Structure 1
Amino acid sequence: MRRRAASARGVLGRHPWALTLIESRRNPGPALLRHHDAVLGCLRRDGFPVALAAHAFSVVDAYVYGFVLTEQNLPFDASTGAADFVAEVAPPSAEYPYLVELVRELTASGDYSFAAEFDYGLDVILDELERRRGHRTG
């Protein structure tokens, strides 16, 4: 599932027009149906019951699409960091103390990369899905 999610993110990131095209189709084409079937097949073969496989597919699909959409619309390069952008548009700390704290903490080292957040979020989702798969009843 991790590999498929990362692959989908990569493809959608390289083809920014793809999200709009995929979402605009009233009827999915054979390629999209094959992709959905393959993802569901992986989940089912890995022991996910049908209902949990549906939940897993839905949440991972929404996460990947949402992350790519956010990446495409950031006002800075997601892979190189936000330090320059933050320096330009730093919000006033008196009005936004927690936002300023977060920005300072993340950009202080110069190592922050929004793109790296993808793996963290995907880990959270996959860990919870694995936990739920392990707690099956009946």
Structure 2
Amino acid sequence: MGRSHLSAREPVSRVRALQAAVDLADEEGVDAVSMRRLAARLGVVPMALYKHVVNKDDLLGGMVDTVIGEYAAPGVGADWKAAVRDRVLSARKAVARHPWARSVIESRSTRTAAVLGHLDAVSGAFLGGGLSPDLTHHAMHALGHRVWGFSPEAFDDSADPGALRLPADPDEQQQLVDRMRSTYPHITAIALDSGGACDADFEFEWALDLLLDAVGRLHEAGWVSPRRR
């Protein structure tokens, strides 16, 4: 039995149940998480879990809360921009440790105390830096999913079997590139310049910094949204 499996002699609590569910999702994917599988992992009958977890939806929400609990607070004395950046990148590291978390976070319709606490902390970093509630409101909208450490893309090439794959033969490669260049010259130029691959972490941080710099400029200019004028 692995380290993450709990002994039947250990009392089951909500914290233990949620951590066991997170461990199971990390090992086998979130689709493997069920009340029956979790009960077996904890060494109890499924009905015993309902004292701690109401249902599958409550379980998934609690798993998200457990991941949020891993987010690190910014360093002492960090200015508002560094504080927001640190919180967002800490969330990104947590999502990287738990790849299943992204889809579960996106599926949540209920805001738990942990979810609200994270949103409050990020908003508080803006407000603590002197930004107005008005500008902070719009900045949070602009952050969107980035506040949870990921940014939805229009296409996920890594999971797309139809994504462009260069053939092994050099002559065939050149023929394909020539066809692409004649039909889609602009995206082909970008793809060739980037080597055909993107650094997801760099792109995420670049966009985050771009956004925060823009918010900073608006703050310095005393920007007010049209509805407040």
Interval containing the TM-score (normalised by the shorter chain): 0.7 to 0.9
Report what 1:102 is aligned to.
190
Report what 2:204 is aligned to.
118
Q: Which has the higher contact order (CA 8 A, sep 6+)?
A: 1
| TM-score (normalizing by structure 2) | 0.48
Q: Indicate which of 45, 50, 55 corresponds to 2:128.
A: 45
Long gaps (5+) in structure 1: 77-84
Q: Indicate which of 128, 131, 136 corresponds to 2:217.
A: 131
Mapping for residues 1-138 of structure 1, pairs under 5 Å: 1-63=84-146, 67-70=150-153, 73-75=156-158, 87-88=166-167, 92-107=180-195, 113-136=199-222
Report what 1:80 is aligned to.
none
Distance in 1, matches of 2:181 and 2:223, equals 50
Cα separation, partners in 2 of 1:54 and 1:73, compared to 1, 3 Å: same
The CA RMSD over aligned residues, in Å, is 3.0
Match for 2:211: what amino acid?
Answer: I
Q: Contact conserved, 1:5 with 1:60, CA < 8 A, in 2?
A: no
Structure possessing the higher radius of gyration over alpha carbons: 2
Cα deviation 1:52-97 (Å, max 9, x = unaligned): 1111122123345694444x94417xxxxxxxx6535866211111
Cα separation, partners in 2 of 1:137 and 1:114, compared to 1, 3 Å: closer
Q: Contact conserved, 2:102 with 2:150, CA < 8 A, in 1?
A: no
Q: Contact conserved, 2:127 with 2:133, CA < 8 A, in 1?
A: yes
SS of 1:92 mapped into structure 2: helix
More helix by share: 1
Distance in 1, matches of 2:147 and 2:181, equals 32
Give the Å deviation of 1:5.
1.4
Give the Å deviation of 1:130.
0.2
- Count how many residue pairs are aligned between Structure 1 and Structure 2: 127
Distance in 2, matches of 1:114 and 1:137, equals 32
Report what 1:81 is aligned to.
none
Distance in 2, matches of 1:64 and 1:28, equals 14
Identity of aligned residues (%): 29
| TM-score (normalizing by structure 1) | 0.75
